[in-house]
Amino acid sequence: MEALIDSMQRALHDLGEREPKSLMELQVKLSEEVGELAAAVLHSQGLKKLNVPNAKDHVLEEACDVMIMSLSILSRFDFDLEDVEAMMQKKMGKWERQIEESERQ
């Protein structure tokens, strides 16, 4: 878990700040990565053909690309890891309440 936190920190600060792409280029790249994740998920379910050795690993790879690009965008707004953690806690709580609500129905 410390390695994940270190990677997130590096994406938010060192690497994110050194990334030469503009904010608009990062946004387009994020959209590209979201599309690649969608393709990987479709492939994992047999709904799309891709030439990759392991469908499950490909989903992981593309999901990580989405997270990295999201962090690189956040770096342009000077958010730090504490900001990400606080928002993640808020959003995870909301997600959990929605699941609990759907389970009661």
In whole angstroms, how far apart are CA 59 and each of 15, 32, 47, 89, 94? 23, 14, 14, 24, 25
Point out which span in 17-25, 59-67, 69-77, 82-90 binds Mg ion (CB under 5 A): 59-67
Residues in the chain: 105
Residue 50 or residue 86: which is nearer to Mg ion going by CB? 50
CB 32 to Mg ion: min, Å: 7
Residue 19 or residue 65: which is nearer to Mg ion going by CB? 65
Rule CB under 5 A: is residue 65 a binding residue for Mg ion? yes
